[in-house]
């Protein structure tokens, strides 16, 4: 082997060990179970829009692998707090809660926007929106702190809507896609819809220095997907702008 060839091999070896991304950092994504967006098939394999987003990020993450784990919503957030996961997805960023008061941080770049809708019995949405403190309102467990008025947690969209229909609660507030899908599948006629709020949907990360470093990684990955057009393709399958329709008009 000639001297130039030997030097080329040495330089290649040095570049591998000295490259700033050579220190691989595998990441664990804790994804909350959400109907449509993060579910498990009969074979136990995860699927849904948020799952596809993490897979797309993993495909372009060159410093390691991103592992997907799925949990109930509240436990998924706790996984970040107890350091058993690097980040949680998704959680909306709430205007009425100062971030410094939270035990976690939001990644600086939002994933998408999500519309939360109030579901009541027909003819009651205006009254509930005007005086929410005077009504019994529920949301999916883990979202209770989203609202500046008392809200109870329930285990599922199915349970939340069932309690509205039976009169055991006055309203159920949750993101529109999962609830609308449940309403359409069951052809409920006596449910009324009204937009409650539109928020940014974000990653949840730790607050310390580790979280700051991770914020940069996640934001760069999202930006790369956005630049390629892939982010919009994925998020369009997750959340849409508020859709103004009523079950009573569907002719079911």
- Distance between CA atoms of residues 77 and 36, nearest Å: 19
Contact 139, 145 (CB under 8 A): no
Confidence of residue 15 (pLDDT cuts 50, 70, 90): very low
88 and 159 fall within a common domain: no
Instruction: Write the CA distances from 65 to 27, 55, 58, integer angstroms.
Output: 6, 10, 6
Residues 105 and 222 in one domain: yes
Look at residue 141 and tell me if it is in a domain: yes
User: Is residue 121 domain-shared with residue 231, that is, in the same domain?
Assistant: no
Q: How many domains is the chain built from? A: 2
| Domain co-membership, 181 together with 67 | no
pLDDT tens digits, residue range 97-148?
Answer: 898 999 999 999 999 999 999 999 999 999 999 999 999 999 998 789 899 9
**177 belongs to a structural domain:** yes
What confidence category does residue 210 fall into, taking pLDDT thresholds of 50, 70 and 90? confident
Mind listing the pLDDT tens digit for each residue in 30-50? Answer: 999 988 899 999 899 999 999
Helix (H, G, I), strand (E, B) or coil at 134: helix
Q: How far is residue 60 from each of residues 65, 154, 168, 181, measured CA to CA in Å? A: 10, 37, 48, 32
Mean model confidence pLDDT for the chain: 90
Boundary residue ending a domain (198, 225, 246)? 198
Lowest mean pLDDT among 11-25, 120-134, 208-222, 232-246: 11-25
Looking at the fold, whether 28 and 99 belong to one and the same domain comes out as yes
Q: Dihedral of CA 207/210/213/217: which sign?
A: negative
Higher pLDDT, 9 or 235: 235
Q: Is 2 a residue whose pLDDT tops 90?
A: no
91 and 159 housed in the same domain: no
Residues 79 and 118 in one domain: no
pTM, whole model, 2 decimals? Answer: 0.77
User: Do 188 and 118 share a structural domain?
Assistant: yes
Provide the residue range defining the domain that includes 211.
24-112+200-235
pLDDT in tens, 61-102: 999 999 999 999 889 999 999 999 999 999 999 988 898 999
Q: Are residues 157 and 211 in the same domain?
A: no
């Amino acid at each position: 082997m000639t001297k130039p060839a030997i030097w080329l091999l040495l330089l290649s070896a040095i570049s591998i060990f000295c490259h700033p991304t050579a220190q691989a950092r595998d990441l664990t994504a804790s994804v909350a179970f959400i109907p449509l967006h993060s579910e498990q098939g009969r074979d136990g394999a995860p699927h849904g829009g948020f799952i596809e987003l993490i897979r797309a990020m993993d495909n372009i993450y060159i410093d390691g692998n991103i592992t997907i784990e799925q949990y109930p919503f509240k436990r998924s957030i706790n996984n970040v707090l107890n350091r058993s996961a690097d980040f949680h997805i998704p959680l909306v960023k709430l205007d009425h809660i100062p971030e410094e008061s939270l035990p976690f941080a939001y990644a600086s770049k939002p994933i998408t926007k999500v519309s939360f809708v109030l579901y009541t019995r027909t003819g009651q949405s205006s009254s509930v929106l005007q005086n929410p403190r005077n009504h019994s309102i529920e949301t999916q467990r883990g979202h209770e702190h989203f609202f500046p008025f008392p809200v109870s947690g329930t285990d599922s969209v199915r349970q939340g809507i069932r309690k509205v229909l039976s009169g055991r609660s006055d309203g159920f507030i949750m993101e529109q896609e999962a609830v609308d899908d449940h309403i359409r599948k069951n052809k409920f006629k006596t449910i009324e819809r009204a937009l409650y709020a539109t928020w940014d949907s974000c990653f949840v990360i730790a607050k310390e220095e580790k979280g700051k470093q991770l914020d940069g990684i996640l934001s760069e990955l999202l930006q790369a997907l956005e630049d390629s057009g892939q982010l919009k393709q994925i998020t369009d399958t997750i959340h849409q702008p508020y859709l103004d329709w009523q079950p009573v008009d569907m002719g079911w």
